[in-house]
A and B are shown apart, each in its own frame.
Chain A
Amino acid sequence: MMITNKFNFMKTLYLLFSILGMMGVVKADETKAREVLVALISSSSKSEEARYVEDLTELGDPIIANVVASWRVGEISYSKSQDKVYIVSGFETYEDLLTGAVISPAGDRAIDRPSRKLRKKLSRIVDFLDLKSPDLEKRMAASRKFGSSQKPEFIEVLREFEAKQDDPEVAAAFRESIAMSLLENGTRDERIQSVKLLGDTYVFAARDNIAKILKDASSGETVDEELVSSCKSALISIDGRQDLLDIVGTLFRGLSTGSVLLLVSYGLAITFGQMGVINMAHGEFIALGGYSVYLVQNYVLKHFGESSVMYEWYFVIALPIAFGVTALAGCLLEKGLIQFLYKRPLESLLATWAVSMIMQQALRLYFGAANVSVSSPEWLSGSYDFGGVMMSYNRIALIVFAIFVVIVTSLLLSKTNWGLHVRATMQNRQMASSLGVPSSRVNMLTFAFGSGLAGLAGAFIAQIGNVGPSMGQTYIVDSFMVVVVGGVGNLMGTAISSLGIGLVDQGLQPLLGPVMGKISVLFGIILFLQFRPGGIFPARSRSLDD
């Protein structure tokens, strides 16, 4: 699922750039480029190919990148009889590469792919293209690629381009790349300067090269003190930065894991913590939320198409629907079953386990046993580069949403009439109902709200993981742990414990690996509860036989 996503994403990107290219570059260049490309693809002699490649290098039109990419994945075909080159432009639609017009291809067309050697050359051309790309990110990436190849012949090219850069960040990237190359190819002074520059700008890619220089420089007969000391300080600077980034990265991942935990357990904190109901079907409610998103996605895709605005925003539409569907399911469960089992927590555990089995199997029968794919809208794909730490947008959205859920829930509980009723009922069911609180209504709404939160959690998990009939099972043990650690009945405790567990989990993973990390967290929680059986914020009850 992820791969296809990425691929679609790349395709869209190319499309975008070719459009940009059309606007930015004189149209004649594109026509010329098309001609040369057609000639290159249809040619069969090696010498001709070499010439065309040279032509392309000089032309440098963005369409080249587009076509080369299509060529490599087998989207280019050639018909000998028509002497036409086709390029795939959509689902079962083809364009004439020469004119760009949509045509139906000839029967004898065969898929054409570049040879290995040619592919290498072409990718070099594309890289050169990227050096001129209007997209700054792409331009910097290309310069780095040339820098890290450390081939002396590129130094001049890079210097030439560097002088032309207006953007200081891009210019710096070019200077870095030049320095990278000079590490290998420069004079002694150039190398020292480069080491300093790379150290000061924390270029991680240069770390190994600098370490090698340091090793060589200090093992020779005459030790070059200046080179050695500059290497040492550059390494310290780079490593320090790396550690910092590791910490920031761990914090971010911890925060995001914590947010997942918070979303999956917040609903439980309400149904279990506030109402004392052990809802083993909570995991299936999460799955229900995931499937709601899936259905909304399919509906939008069917009725509006992939490139519609609706599709772009389908996830936003899906959220309230996921909430509504699971809240309704929760409502039914409370009315049909749980309301008879208050004060009998073990019975409610068993009965909801039965419901969990039934729901799981029903989902499996209806949607199939395999996971279904839910794609992220464009604005949730990709990541934000935070000084070298990649933060994916959907994880950022997840964190923001978790905070949103915490705030909204606490506002609902503290400011609304319903919240007052909930708190009263949870403290003393009988007293509340004799004071006129409609306790059965309050119970139903509270349970529905908690279930709805599970649905929202499922909706978000659909963006970062799989949606399948047994997806809830993955989260049920975790969410119970979170609630118990936080202190049953304390929402703030749940929030703190989910963040804490998320951070510890992500902090341990680099040391122990994902599975051992999780196992350690589970054993850690079990041990923690031995010493604080009531969790972080134990609920104090005044009743005698607790």
Chain B
Amino acid sequence: MNRNSLFDSKAELGLVWSLLAFVLVLPILNMVAPEGSFLHVSSFQLSVWGKYLCYAVLAVSLNFLWGYTGLLCLGQCLFFALGGYAFGMYLMLMIGDLGGYKSSLPDFMIFLGYSELPMYWKPFYSPYFALFAAMWVPGLVAFLFGLLAFRSRIKGVYFSILTQALTYAAALLFFRNDFTFGGNNGFTDFKFIFGQEFYDPSVARGLFWGSGALLLGVYVLLAWLLKSKFGLVQRAIRDSENRVRFSGYSTTHYKVFIFVLSAMIAGLAGALYVPQAGIINPSEMWPTKGLDIVVWVAVGGRGSKFGPIIGAILINLLKSYTTREYPESWLLILGFVFLFVVLFMPNGVVGLWDQLKERFSKKRSASDPGDEILKSN
């Protein structure tokens, strides 16, 4: 592959084309193939796959931070959930007076004794504003937090622990009823989206296409960034931040930019996830969710462009299968899979091929230069 191409290898290009084909074809099967036929894809299945695509975007956004910049954020779920909440606000307002209290206000607000919509809810009647907010609210949170953290040179595990505390604090806040975001129950029971009935198959198709387009768009954007000098700087920060700083780059500016971009991508993923899941509540930003994303990326292969996509989809397929067949042992299986990956597959599933090749060639050539232990951060 030539230096100027966005993609590193033929294999990668193949994967991207297959993904594109998958995204295009699945909704068409939903539309065309008759029910009961082998090829039929139900709207429910379509939504499930749509959710996986959103998870994949989320994993890609974390990989951009962790795999390419060395910033392990344990609070990526917060940005995802904030995006979800932003779009959820629009969906809540679209319920109109079909809610339990037959009022134009969301049910939980009636419950809290509100008689009028709070000011900051009003713009969310517009879906475009909601999508805009789904990017900028997480972006702003990331900007403020990142600016403070990176200026005072918080990094490595400290950064991880602090991002975990951030999402924990936010979850506690959203669990409160009087925070006007639905408390424990969050947002659910949506009725309309973009003027369509919420459970219309065309909605599922549209959302699926949207998620696929987001994934491919984000993929291409990040591939382009990684190719640019910006990408060089980004990886240089991961490997030797001091050298970058002493070469005249403000690593703080770069890291804030990367953190904000990654948060905005996660926010958009969350915005598309919520209508497909039909619900958003504070458990989405609970610290364990943040670690889940880390698991997807690690299993798929951090620091590789396609790895996180594979990881997110693989783990979620495994999850949906195991929780159905062996509900009790899901966490045990996930734990052992993850442990195995951390210990024996540092480059995840996509790195497996190279790893095996290396193992094989190592056995052949006795004179092996002492391999350097590459620091992980």
Contacts and interface: CB of A to CB of B under 8 A. Distances in A.
Complex: A in contact with B (CB within 8 Å): yes
Interface of A: 278, 280, 337, 340, 343-347, 349-351, 353-358, 360-362, 365, 473, 477, 480-481, 484, 515-516, 518-519, 522-523, 525-527, 529-531, 533, 545
A436 to B, nearest CB: 25
25 contacts: A278-B160, A344-B375, A349-B72, A353-B294, A354-B334, A355-B335, A357-B335, A358-B331, A358-B332, A358-B339, A361-B329, A361-B335, A477-B168, A480-B161, A481-B161, A515-B172, A518-B169, A518-B172, A522-B166, A522-B172, A526-B148, A529-B152, A531-B152, A533-B154, A545-B240
B156 interface: yes
Contacts of A523: 169
Identify the 6 closest CB pairs spanning chains A and B, nearest first.
Answer: A358-B335, A361-B331, A357-B335, A522-B169, A354-B339, A354-B338
B288 interface: yes
Interface in B151-182: 151-154, 156-158, 160-162, 164-166, 168-169, 172-173, 175-176
Classify chain B: how many residues form its interface, as a range. 35 or more
Contacts of A473: 287-288
B162 A529 contact: yes
Contacts of B288: 473
Contacts of B335: 354-358, 361
Contacts of A480: 161, 164-165
B120 interface: no
B161 A353 contact: no
A546 to B, nearest CB: 9
A347 B332 contact: no
Nearest to B288: A473
B149 A351 contact: no
Given A346-B72, A351-B339, A351-B342, A525 B165 contact: yes
A14 B335 CA distance: 52
B377 A358 contact: no
A546 B288 CA distance: 29
Contact of B156 (A343, A346, A347, A354): A346
Interface string B306-344: 000000000000000000000011111011101100110
Contacts of A522: 165-166, 168-169, 172
A365 B156 CA distance: 35
A361 B154 CA distance: 33
A473 B288 CA distance: 9
A484 B160 CA distance: 12
A353 B289 CA distance: 12
B247 interface: no
Given A350-B294, A477-B165, A345 B328 contact: no
B376 interface: yes
B53 interface: no
Contacts of A278: 157, 160-161
A473 B164 CA distance: 12
B236 to A, nearest CB: 14
Given A358-B335, A477-B168, A530 B377 contact: no
A357 B329 CA distance: 11
A353 to B, nearest CB: 6
Most buried by B among A278, A345, A527: A345
B19 interface: no
B331 A349 contact: no
A111 B309 CA distance: 67
B173 to A, nearest CB: 5
Nearest to B169: A522
Contacts of B175: 515
B272 to A, nearest CB: 27
A38 B330 CA distance: 61
A1 to B, nearest CB: 23
Given A358-B332, A519-B172, A545-B242, A340 B343 contact: yes
A521 B335 CA distance: 32
A347 B339 CA distance: 10
B298 interface: yes
Given A477-B165, A477-B287, A519 B173 contact: yes
